[in-house]
Amino acid sequence: MSRPDPFLVALALLVAEPAWRPAEPFIADPAAMLERFFGEERDEDREALARIEVSFAEERRMGETAVRAYLAELKRQKIRVLARGREVDYLRDLVETIRPLMDQRQRYRHINVYLAQSSRCDARSFPGGTLVFFRGLLESADSEAAVVGIVGHELSHLDRGHHLVRVRRMKLAQQMLSDSAQASSPDQFFNAGAALARIWMRPFRPEDEAEADRDGARWAYQVGYDPREMGNLFLRLRDRNRLQGLPIPSFLQTHPAPEDRNAEIVKLYGELQHAEPSAKLYIGKENLRRRVARVRRRLER
């Protein structure tokens, strides 16, 4: 009797979600599930990942695969996805407002932008330079400044190479699958599957999310927006989701808690004001309502 593929074993464990969880494109909290089954990520897992080299061509190829799968899942859920139109242009203008501030702006010279026609408030970035925003984000935000902060948060994951960890996981998974095929005992086989599961589907680390928050707030401030609007959005979404029992957006799923993230943004705002005082920061409520970015309004004058 042939042994099952350890990767499929790992995935079978990962998708064993509680029946009460609302349907979402991907697992809402894979880290908690992994820790229930396999324990926390180990130092040897991190060291193995650090040894994996990733070229931009590999990153882009794997990112395109992930995007296709994600968009196909949205289609299965009957969620229409737009690649053009006024709202996509609006989001693209905001992306291009922030992208020049990235350290890796030459690596990510072109960012693909999609808008999912869903009331869910969410935003996701993918390796290679693709951002998917949900209409619910535009409807839940109170200002353009808040949306700019989220745009910066997602771009930060690209700029700091957070996605490369996931790409390294993909490459390491391929290596581990090959090695496990040569396993000489059931224990070796299971250990390979368990290690693969630990490193395969983990979300961004809390420190990655904290970095992305800081970058999003700092970049927003540098281009003249009030970064506190992003923190206010975190709190508003937390309160709304508690009342309505809605899924938590991906950018709110990891620790620290929304109130702590807001506090860190307010603290950073104070530091930025001390270093580079700005008496008037842009909010942009009317911009968001009209879906016309501040940069576009300036060009139209």
Q: Residue 180: which pLDDT band, with cuts at 50, 70 and 90?
A: low
pLDDT at site 34: 44
- Kindly give the interhelix angle for 6-14 and 30-38, rounded to the nearest 10 degrees: 120
Q: CB of 132 within 8 A of CB of 207?
A: no
SS3 of the chain = CCCCCHHHHHHHHHCCCCCCCCCCCCCCCHHHHHHHHHCCCCHHHHHHHHCCCCCHHHHHHHHHHHHHHHHHHHHHCCCCEECCCHHHHHHHHHHHHHHHHCCCCCCCCCCEEEEECCCCCCEEEECCCEEEEEHHHHHHCCCHHHHHHHHHHHHHHHHCCHHHHHHHHHHHHHHHHHHHCCCCCHHHHHHHHHHHHHHHCCCCCHHHHHHHHHHHHHHHHHCCECCHHHHHHHHHHHHHHHHHCCCCCHHHCCCCCHHHHHHHHHHHHHHHHHHCCCCCCECCHHHHHHCCCHHHHHHHC
Q: Which of 149-153, 180-184, 259-263 has the lowest mean pLDDT?
A: 180-184
pLDDT at site 177: 66
Task: Report whether pLDDT(11) > 50.
Answer: no
pLDDT at site 269: 98
Task: Report whether pLDDT(5) > 70.
Answer: no
Per residue in 196-229, pLDDT (tens digit) is 444 444 556 788 889 999 999 999 999 999 999 9
Q: Residue 164: which pLDDT band, with cuts at 50, 70 and 90?
A: confident
pLDDT at site 249: 58
Rounded Cα–Cα distance for residues 290 and 83 (Å)? 19
pLDDT at site 80: 98
pTM equals 0.77
User: Mean pLDDT throughout 149-174?
Assistant: 87
